[in-house]
Amino acid sequence: MAGDLEIALLRSFVAIVRAGSISRAATALGHTQPALSQQVRRLERAVGRPLLHRSASGVSPTRAGEELLPYAERILSLSAQALAETGRTLTGRCGVGLLEDLAASRLPQVLADLARLHPGAVLEVLSLPDAAMREAYDAGRVHLVLNEVPAVPGPPRWTVRRPLVWAVGQGVDVAADPLPVVLFSNTCSWRTSVLETLERADRPWRVVFESNSLAGVLAALRAGLGVAALMPANLEPAMACQAADALPALPDVELGLARHPRSEGDPLVDAVETALRRTV
């Protein structure tokens, strides 16, 4: 790799991966689709490897894209934080409640980078069942909760839609009838939308494995038990669906952030909320 990586190109790449589509990312960034595609090609030339798999249903990162993504997100996060916080030292404590799928992604690293910039601040990241998260929020232990909108413990200050993608276990035939499906347990609202999507597509299915944790679902996929719906950040390269038309398109997930009223005006909580919004 020669020269430096341009932040603008990294921002476009990250937006495309998060959106799962060049057209959706172009809309979010206020660019045209051809302009965004050109930026991706420039970034691919800079790193010397293809970064995206392109198909009729959208895009997903290649292995090189998966390797670049966490660095790109950290560069963008640190750049934004440095611009916003130069000359100001933050102190205090902020508790952050995250949906497990987000806690297993790169968000905690972004928060760790923020904590390193402000050694006088204490950040606590929690991933709890909905009832326990609400209890922690009501008690003031958690100041910010980023979760699916129906599960946030207060009115969301802002919301964002993110795609779901199919993850395919090793050796699984996506044309199988019935389709072997790995599901999150009943507490997950994705379960209903995934099964309704298969029903609308007239795809017979059977449940082969259930778990109330992301770790359990990923273990089942690694064992080759079936297919599952995941957020793109949790999709391992070997699990990417290569047959774009074999499975129906999945609905988006709506995420929302709730902030405890007693934290209004707290500079540390302000900075953490800004970091979450920029990253998610």
pLDDT, tens digit, 9 for 90 and up, residues 49-67: 999 988 776 788 898 988 8
- With beta carbons less than 8 A apart as the criterion, state whether 186 and 211 touch: no
pLDDT, tens digit, 9 for 90 and up, residues 19-47: 888 888 887 777 888 888 899 999 999 89
Distance CA 187, CA 185 (A): 6
Same domain, 136 and 77: no
Distance CA 33, CA 23 (A): 6
Distance CA 97, CA 152 (A): 10
- With beta carbons less than 8 A apart as the criterion, state whether 117 and 85 touch: yes
Distance CA 80, CA 90 (A): 15
| CATH value at residue 176 | 3.40.190.10
Residue type at 171 in one-letter notation: G
Q: Are strands 92-98 and 144-148 parallel, antiparallel or unpaired?
A: parallel
Domain assignment of residue 224, yes or no: yes
pLDDT for 82 beyond 80: no
pLDDT of residue 169: 94
Domain assignment of residue 65, yes or no: yes
Domain assignment of residue 2, yes or no: no
How many domains does the chain divide into?
Answer: 3
Across the chain, the runs of DSSP E, i.e. the strands, are 52-55, 58-61, 92-98, 121-126, 144-148, 158-162, 165-168, 179-184, 205-211, 227-230, 253-259
pLDDT for 244 beyond 70: no
| Angle subtended at Cα 260 by Cα 255 and Cα 265, rounded to the nearest 5 degrees | 110
Same domain, 68 and 122: no
**Mean of the per-residue pLDDT values of the chain:** 87
Q: What is the pTM of this model?
A: 0.71
Same domain, 268 and 131: yes
Same domain, 129 and 190: no
Query: 229: domain range?
Result: 165-251
Alpha-carbon distances, residue 222 vs 101, 215, 219, 235 (angstroms): 17, 10, 5, 11
Residue type at 87 in one-letter notation: G
pLDDT of residue 1: 41
